[in-house]
Amino acid sequence: MKGFELSVNGLSKKIAVWDGIVSILIFYSNDDCKLMISGIDHHSNKKIKWYNENLELGDQIHVKFTEIDSCSDPIRVSDAKTKNETKLERYNKLKESLIQKGML
């Protein structure tokens, strides 16, 4: 599968999902810099996080888009809510609220 080989200060991770999204985000705000690598695997309906650490001045990050045979172990895996489930949950809450107000 296609994915990323990512190295932070020489420590490597292999990141990929079969069917979904992988995000590599670098945040910088108020002198804080953070690297977060996560994804959503639609096939298993899981949110996956591989990396979530602060960066310091001089840290080196290398990213290569390539074929990945196996992924590095994640630091966290949790159930993902799909977009449709989230909309359905919101609809049901609004519907219940309108029923309670006697508007439906």
Residue range 6-55, pLDDT digits in tens:
999 999 999 998 888 999 999 999 989 999 999 998 888 889 999 999 99
pTM given for the model: 0.70
What's the pLDDT score for residue 65? 96
The mean pLDDT value for 66-91 works out to 83
- In the predicted model, is pLDDT for residue 90 greater than 90? no
Please name the helix (run of DSSP H) or strand (run of DSSP E) that holds residue 96, with its range, or none. helix 83-100
What's the pLDDT score for residue 25? 95
**Assigned token pair, 83:** 């977009």
- In the predicted model, is pLDDT for residue 80 greater than 80? no
